[in-house]
Chain A
Amino acid sequence: MILRPALLLFLVAIAACAGSQTARTSDVLFATPEAALAREQAPDLYAQAEWASAQASDAHRRKDERAAEDHRTESRLWLAASIAEAERVQLDRRRAELQREEEHWGKQLARDQEASAAVAQDISRYEANAVALREAERLSALTGASTVSDATLDAVLTRVRMNLALAEALGATDEQLLPLRERADFIARQRPNAARIAEALLLESETLIGQTRADWPEPRPGASTALVQTASVTGFSADRLGSAVLIRSGRFFTSKGQVSSATLKRFIGLLEAFPHGPVACQVAVPELSSRVWARRVAQLVERFGRSEDPKRVSTSMVVAESLAPGTVQCTFAAYRNP
């Protein structure tokens, strides 16, 4: 790359003072690697140079030195042009290579930007889920506690009011709503510290939503979206698949392998609030022959059996490398449409 411009300069220079050059100089120029490259890359211009060189030889044989010198000058100019053209072709090829590389990096950049946005969204969802989970567990903890803190009571009342608003939107009557609203107002004023009072109100509000939804023969439009949202705010991971909604949690079992009452209770609340269709649950286990996991799953099945509609939930074991052992994923098959 550095040599070629120098050679071109040399060619132009000797062409400019052609009178002092000899036929031998031309032969030397034709023998350079640059000339060989020019023969490949710019054959038409190279052929002109060769033709002029042949003309120079003819004139030299005729002893017409003026004509020979003119033809040599012309030949050198054509040769220089063919070398310049060969170099241009090479530069263009290199540019095309760089452009392909640029496209490759551009595509990687676009893919990574998209992936970063997705991961950032995941992180937001994880954080939102963590908050939702803390709130959901606070509500679920009502079962095991005899008293309720001010913060938990506020969380319960907020949830009850949201449930009642939703039930109203779904078509609950004033007769159904009014008593619960009055109780919520009473609890807000009196602030009793007995957990069972708050818990009873919360469960009744969730049952009312389920009853209102159950009046319809099948899930209403938007029900699967509502299921995903409700599951998320109650601490489950939820995804809408093509033909169902998948709810997942790794907290159905405690670290000691016992069924988590808090998680189960939240899940049963979800079942009641979304009453349509069968629900198929799979428990991820390390291996199907594991007795320990068979015992744990049996315990979960027994707890599901205590719910109001024991036949609605079917439970099985599955070996899935992508899921941690004990993760339970349940498919709400009736919630197909958004």
Chain B
Amino acid sequence: MRAGFVLLALVWAVSAAVGLADGVQPRSQSAELEQRLGQLEARADAKYAKGALAQARRALLRASSLPEDASAASRAAKIADAALVLADRQLARREAQAELIATQRRLNAVRERASAQRRALEALMRDRASLSRGGGSP
């Protein structure tokens, strides 16, 4: 009888601990997702990932509104996570594109300058050859 009581107490303690952990983990994950969402929304270029950010926001709302359905809340959190990664990659892609355009502009400018300089050099070389032929050289 006594042994049975001890076993019952142990089972209760373990299940209580697991239940506590289950409750803490979604809360901390949710906070982490909220923080990531806030950081992305605060960026000056956030408008270029508007769709993905909106979806993340909706998924987070859904996750917090389903406390009784842990499985559905977990799926909603995963959707929020994926949407946040998508938003982040979209913004990174946007930055890469802007850098590419800037590099292309710089390249065009330096290519133009180099071509102009080459023409100037060729003209100078022609002048020098003409002076050389004309007896400018001693």
The interface of chain A, by Cβ under 8 A from chain B, is 8-9, 12-13, 15-16, 45, 48, 52, 66-67, 70-71, 73-74, 77-78, 80-81, 84-85, 87-88, 91-92, 94-95, 98-99, 101-102, 105-106, 108-109, 112-113, 115-116, 119-120, 122-123, 126-127, 129-130, 132-133, 235-237, 248-251
Is A130 touching B135 in the complex (CB atoms < 8 A)? yes
The interface of chain B, by Cβ under 8 A from chain A, is 51-52, 54-55, 71-72, 75-76, 78-79, 82-83, 85-86, 88-90, 92-93, 96-97, 99-100, 103-104, 106-107, 110-111, 113-114, 117-118, 120-121, 124-125, 127-128, 131-132, 135-138
Across the A-B interface, the 6 shortest Cβ-Cβ residue pairs: A77-B82, A126-B136, A91-B96, A70-B75, A84-B89, A81-B86
Task: From known contacts A15-B55, A91-B96, infer whether A112 and B121 are also in contact, taking CB-CB under 8 Å.
Answer: yes
Chain B residues touching A, majority SS: helix
Is A70 touching B86 in the complex (CB atoms < 8 A)? no
Q: In angstroms, how far is the closest chain A Cβ from the Cβ of B124? A: 4
Complex CA gap A153/B5 in Å reads 135
Partner of B110, one of A105, A122, A236: A105
> Using a Cβ cutoff of 8 Å, how many contacts connect chains A and B?
142
Is B114 touching A102 in the complex (CB atoms < 8 A)? no
Complex CA gap A105/B108 in Å reads 10
Residues of B within 8 A of A77 (CB): 52, 55, 79, 82-83, 85-86
Is A116 touching B124 in the complex (CB atoms < 8 A)? yes
Q: In angstroms, how far is the closest chain A Cβ from the Cβ of B51? A: 4
